[in-house]
Structure 1
Amino acid sequence: MYFSLDVLRARQGDCLMLHYGTAEKPRLMLIDGGPATVYAKYLKPRLQKLRAAREKAELLDTADPLPVDVVLVSHIDDDHIHGILDLTGEQRSQAAGIRLAVTSLWHNSFDDLLSTKPDELASGFGTASILAGADTNMFAGVEIGDSEEEAAAQAVLASVPQGRTLRDDAADLGWRPNHKFKGKLILTAADAVPVDLNGVTITVAGPLQDELQALQDMHDQWLRQRKADGTRPTASAMLAAFVDKSVPNLSSIVLLAECGGKTMLLTGDARGDKIIEGLETAGKLAENETLHVDILKVPHHGSDNNMETSFFERVTADHYVFSGNGDYGNPERATLQMLLDARDVADDFTIHLTYPIEEIDAGREADWVKQQAKEAGRAKPPKGGVRPDWSAEEQGLLAFFANNPELAAKVKIVSDNKPHLIDLLDKVAL
């Protein structure tokens, strides 16, 4: 029996594959596709390699497409959805170089998360009407602030048209939407029942039903205010209205996958405290207790804005997957310090990084310098003052691991040209 996570390089984003089933009938779930270039450089060649291996094993005939049970897009940020759109675009053109037979798309589109009434759409109000037919880069020049939360909110809204395109592509390709959830939103609630995906038990640990309702209420209140003052929403006003540190995380699908006594926690860009709350709501984590999983995909590429030491104390793992190349500062040194603070370094666990540490540090330094210039250029300096110059010793991951050699010995780097599989049960044939 297979139960393996296939970790691909994805620049600043996520791109993963879940292998399950058996050697005679292998099964596959695609999980996010990374930003631009990731599909062509990493995901497509990996799918082609799998397709060739299946044909060589006489599991597929030459003309057969590669079966895929689920394509999961955790949320609509470009660094998760873009590669999947590249995939669907090729599948629709019928010139893909590899054909897929996909059963279902699992995805909560932003239109569904923030529904509006028909009369609101007709009168020019509401998310869908503002963004209908919009180019995916329509918000590229709009700036509402420099914080990570504001940038994330901007990225989410800029990706709304991408979510609509994905939904349309999936419909044209015959991919059933959220098929194990009766076509409805994928979310967690106290009465939510785990689903069986061909031998893998899937428990949804996010997003939270109560938070989605709170987001809808905020959206409706904003619409009423706009109607009352008679103004039509603009792009900048739309962005400003949804600047809230929880908004980008609300749409992230969080799944706990279980098979053969092994577990994976797949977190998208969700916030650590919300994942804990989701696990508790789903009945997978008792209050004040801990949960051990075999694989934890560390949330939001290891951003320290999404994490606290307490998360790593409550959820422990044998394998920690950090996806990020240093862009936007991720994975953050502070997050790795949280992990070190939460775990005994003598414990048996592995840290998986998708890029070499030197390359991650180069990206993190470039982001540090960029943010420093933004802070220095503000009319009103940030509360703590402008950050100091980059220090490899103070901020670098190389120095962090050099100072913690026992932790450094636990690090594995995803290769640029070889599959990186974490096999929990039988080893997947490459």
Structure 2
Amino acid sequence: MFFTLDVLRARKGDCLMLHYGPEDDPRLILIDGGPSNVYKPHLKPRIEQVHEARGLDEKDPLPVDVVMVSHVDDDHIKGILDLTKEQRGKNPPLRLEVTSLWHNSFDDLLNTKPGELMVETASLGGGAAGGGGTFDSGTVLASIGKSALADDVEDEEKMHAYEVLSSIPQGRTLRDDAKALGWKLNHKFKGKLILASKASKPVTLDGLKVTVVGPLQPELLALQKEHDKWLKAQKKKKSSEAALAAFSDESISNLSSIVVLVELKGKSILLTGDARGDKTLDGLKLTGILGKSGKRHVNILKVPHHGSDNNMETSFFKKVTADHYVFSGDGEHGNPERNTLQMLLDARGADTDYTIHLTYPIEEIDKGRKADWNKEQAKEKKRKKKNPKVEVRENWSPAKHGLASFFAKNPKLKVEIVDEKKPHLIDLLEPLTL
């Protein structure tokens, strides 16, 4: 019996494959596809390897139980859109036989009509989204202009809001592609939203138990009401900056991530997307997974939001422990953050019987993190000229801020790096040889 998480390089995003089931009938789930330039160099070749290892004829499709896209952000959805675009072509080099797409499109989450979101998104980018179809989040950003971004979007929160709003149409495109390809939408959930509530029960996939931990139903209802007010307000506003300010609440991304606990033969994996740690804990409590102890051990934890310290607290790592921690990120946006790794270390204390999995070499991650640090420092200096109260971070120090020095100071920590030339498999049952 297989139960293996297959971790792929995905630049700043997530891209995972879950293999499970008996040797004579192995099953497969694809989880997120990363941003641009992930599908062709990483995901597609891995799918081809699995197809070949299964001994399938060249013309036979590869069966896939579920393609799960945790949320609308470009660094999770774009690689899957690249896949669906290829699948919809006249002669795809490798055909997939996908049973279902698990995904909550943004307009469904907010209980609005697709057109309503398209119009408001287009207004942010001067009409960039008005034509519909697939495009990168960079499309809207580019239409706003680099100079405007430098002046008006100086902090990570607002930049992320722009990215989320500009990627809204991608969710609709994915839904349209899935329908054209015959993929059933949220088939284990009667085609409705995938969310966590007191009344929700686990679903099964050929013996695999799946419990939805997020997004949370009560907060989605609150978000829907908030968004209805926002849509009405836009009719009275003229500037994209005003529209952004009205809808840059952090709940945009945090509340949309599908979070699931998957279990098989006494082993478990918690897949968190970009959900906030505290919201994931709320979902674990709501579904009874934490239990009376208020804690839960899983075999694998996909660390939320690429290890961003904005999403995590030490208390989360104390309440949810794991044998394997997967940090997906290449240093862009500063992720994975050294602070988050320190939280994990503080939570586990003297116990170092776990493995940290990084999707890129430590030196490469630090290079990206340093570049991001310097970029944010430059923005802070610029803002300080207008407002003396703005704090400017200190200069980058490899010893204080680098991951290399962190691991050098903690040599007992076990670290594994995803190799781009061979599969990175975390086996929980029988070893997978794909």
Same fold (TM over 0.5): yes
Secondary structure, counterpart of 1:307 in structure 2 = coil
Return 5+ residue gaps in structure 1 as ranges: none
Structure 1 counterpart of 2:189:
181
For 1:16 and 1:3, how far apart are their aligned partners in 2? 13
Q: Does 1:191 align with 2:193?
A: no
CA contact (8 A) 1:139 1:235 kept: no
Secondary structure, counterpart of 2:370 in structure 1 = helix
Structure 1 counterpart of 2:117:
127
For 1:69 and 1:329, how far apart are their aligned partners in 2? 34
CA contact (8 A) 2:380 2:390 kept: no
Structure 2 counterpart of 1:414:
418
Return 5+ residue gaps in structure 2 as ranges: 122-129
1:175-230 CA-to-partner distances (Å, cap 9, x unmatched) read: 11111000001000011010001111000000011111111111112233345xxx
**Which stretch of structure 1 is more off in the superposition, 361-370 or 94-103?**
94-103
For 2:42 and 2:225, how far apart are their aligned partners in 1? 40
Superposition CA RMSD, Å: 1.8
Per-residue deviation, 1:234: 5.3
Secondary structure, counterpart of 1:138 in structure 2 = helix
CA contact (8 A) 2:237 2:243 kept: no
Secondary structure, counterpart of 1:25 in structure 2 = coil
Q: Does 1:265 align with 2:270?
A: yes
* Shift in alpha-carbon separation, 1:382–1:145, aligned structure 2, 3 A: farther
* Shift in alpha-carbon separation, 1:381–1:67, aligned structure 2, 3 A: farther
CA contact (8 A) 2:7 2:425 kept: yes
In the alignment, residue 166 of structure 1 is paired with which amino acid? L
Structure 1 counterpart of 2:314:
309
Q: How does 1:186-335 map to 2 (within 5 A)?
A: 186-227=194-235, 231=236, 235-286=240-291, 289-335=294-340
CA contact (8 A) 2:107 2:113 kept: no
Structure 2 counterpart of 1:392:
398
Structure 2 counterpart of 1:429:
433
For 1:347 and 1:45, how far apart are their aligned partners in 2? 34
Per-residue deviation, 1:344: 3.0
CA contact (8 A) 2:352 2:412 kept: no
In the alignment, residue 130 of structure 1 is paired with which amino acid? E
* Shift in alpha-carbon separation, 1:92–1:425, aligned structure 2, 3 A: same
* Shift in alpha-carbon separation, 1:396–1:267, aligned structure 2, 3 A: same
CA contact (8 A) 1:295 1:320 kept: yes
Structure 1 counterpart of 2:126:
none
Structure 2 counterpart of 1:168:
176
Per-residue deviation, 1:233: 6.0
Structure 2 counterpart of 1:16:
16
Count of residue pairs the alignment pairs up:
415
For 2:96 and 2:344, how far apart are their aligned partners in 1? 38
Per-residue deviation, 1:8: 0.3
CA contact (8 A) 2:118 2:169 kept: no
* TM-score of the aligned structures, taking structure 2 as reference length: 0.92
Secondary structure, counterpart of 1:220 in structure 2 = helix
In the alignment, residue 3 of structure 2 is paired with which amino acid? F
Per-residue deviation, 1:388: 1.4
For 1:383 and 1:271, how far apart are their aligned partners in 2? 29
In the alignment, residue 76 of structure 1 is paired with which amino acid? V
Secondary structure, counterpart of 2:33 in structure 1 = coil
CA contact (8 A) 1:133 1:161 kept: no
Structure 2 counterpart of 1:138:
140
Instruction: Using the aligned pairs only, state the percent identity.
Output: 62
In the alignment, residue 331 of structure 2 is paired with which amino acid? G
CA contact (8 A) 2:230 2:247 kept: no
Q: How does 1:48-197 map to 2 (within 5 A)?
A: 48-55=48-55, 60-116=56-112, 126-131=116-121, 132-134=130-132, 136=136, 137-140=139-142, 141=144, 143=149, 144-197=152-205
For 2:6 and 2:154, how far apart are their aligned partners in 1? 34
Secondary structure, counterpart of 2:51 in structure 1 = helix
